[in-house]
Structure 1
């Protein structure tokens, strides 16, 4: 197995701890209204379902997406909220924390190949996130630049163009099956599903590689790199 010439990553959920950040934020908002027993996991899943449909319609800035879809999900579930709550949620994303293994894995991978982001967000948000993360990516492709959100293929094409690779030389890594693994499969790009929580595969599509975290991904790619190094005869 040859090491890919470039690896593209989903950011939020793969590198940044999306689930925990969203659940914690929803919990804080509800606590302001003395609601402390809400099922924030179910609320998050409902919000994600709404968001997936919302962003397929036409391009809107991601802060607008965050504001509107939070309001829609809270309203559906009968929870109180204010416009200021939605604005604060949309402004918080750039400060969300990475998974503990993410930075080290990315820095190790950068020694072996090009690394890039294909992310469903705006330039301003991802710039804040990357500064907070402390990793220098070779390219960053946002929905703002592509004018569409994943699972649309345009961001993937833009990434391959900027990185100077074709689909056979690329590995795309993500936790979002519908957003990342499915479009990679449709494009004939190798994919790695980072399935931290042991989720059931949600579509009749098979990822190329399956790992439980970013540290394991780094080990996988190191193994590929090692297998391509010529071994000295007699050693």
Structure 2
């Protein structure tokens, strides 16, 4: 927590990646694929397709294409969607959101269809101020448009907001927009080649509130 002697200086808004930063979608992909190795290969193929396609192509189609690329059957795709409403928040995710509600506007910026993105966001019993999906924005992250659309909906400037990423691909977009970024790198992935480093990286969300609580103070320390 922030020191009692230092007043909190939260941003006006915090934007979250949904399916990796807040929700443990890794377990669902692994279960649908039949093993962790197969799930990680499938997820890596999906990320390459998603972050490389730019203009929106149906999320469900990209998931299906990635499965075919790594040799997984159509049943794996059906299993993943059937388990969608069983996605589990990472430890500390709901507590962090509830703690931030009195201080910040909260938004989701997710590479997903509007249908599935809205369903996943509603797994958290909080009021989102904005839910922006790749389908709504018309492009996938890390194109700057989804982040900017969220800021527009929230009525805040980039320098008044922070982003919580689940993938280092996000850093291309947040750097372009000017969003300071916390990378919740739960599974210990390396930084994608060429991606700008985040301002803060951690394997859990434990440091998120202290980081955000000093957002308006320079230099940032915890």
TM-score by length of 1: 0.79
Per-residue deviation, 1:2: 4.2
Which residue of 99, 104, 121 maps to 1:113?
104
Instruction: Give 1:36's aligned residue.
Output: none
Query: How far apart are the structure 1 equivalents of 2:12 and 2:179?
Result: 12
Instruction: Give 1:192's aligned residue.
Output: 182
Instruction: Give 2:28's aligned residue.
Output: 21
Q: Secondary structure at the match of 2:208?
A: helix
Q: Secondary structure at the match of 2:122?
A: helix
Per-residue deviation, 1:223: 4.7
Does structure 1 residue 171 correspond to structure 2 residue 162?
yes
Query: How far apart are the structure 2 equivalents of 1:53 and 1:224?
Result: 32
Unaligned 5+ residue runs, structure 2?
1-7
Does structure 1 residue 8 correspond to structure 2 residue 15?
yes
Residues 12-53 of structure 1: per-residue CA shift (max 9 Å, x gap): 1111002122112212xxxxxxxxxxxx33323322332233
Runs of 4 or more above 4 Å deviation: none
Contact kept? 2:32, 2:77, Cα under 8 Å: no
Higher alpha-carbon deviation: 90-99 or 121-130: 90-99
Query: How far apart are the structure 1 equivalents of 2:79 and 2:189?
Result: 30
Q: Hey, which of these two has a bigger chunk of helix by percent?
A: 1
Contact kept? 2:23, 2:89, Cα under 8 Å: yes
Per-residue deviation, 1:224: 4.8
Per-residue deviation, 1:63: 1.9
Instruction: Give 2:136's aligned residue.
Output: 145
Change in Cα spacing, 1:184 to 1:224, as seen in structure 2 (3 Å) is: closer
Does structure 1 residue 209 correspond to structure 2 residue 200?
yes
Change in Cα spacing, 1:127 to 1:95, as seen in structure 2 (3 Å) is: farther
Once superposed, what is the RMSD of the aligned Cα atoms?
2.3
Residues 172-196 of structure 1: per-residue CA shift (max 9 Å, x gap): 1112001x12211122221111122
Query: How far apart are the structure 1 equivalents of 2:200 and 2:101?
Result: 19
Per-residue deviation, 1:3: 2.2
**Larger Cα Rg: Structure 1 or Structure 2?**
1
Query: How far apart are the structure 2 equivalents of 1:2 and 1:222?
Result: 5
Aligned length: 208
Residues 206-231 of structure 1: per-residue CA shift (max 9 Å, x gap): 21122332232023323558x79xxx
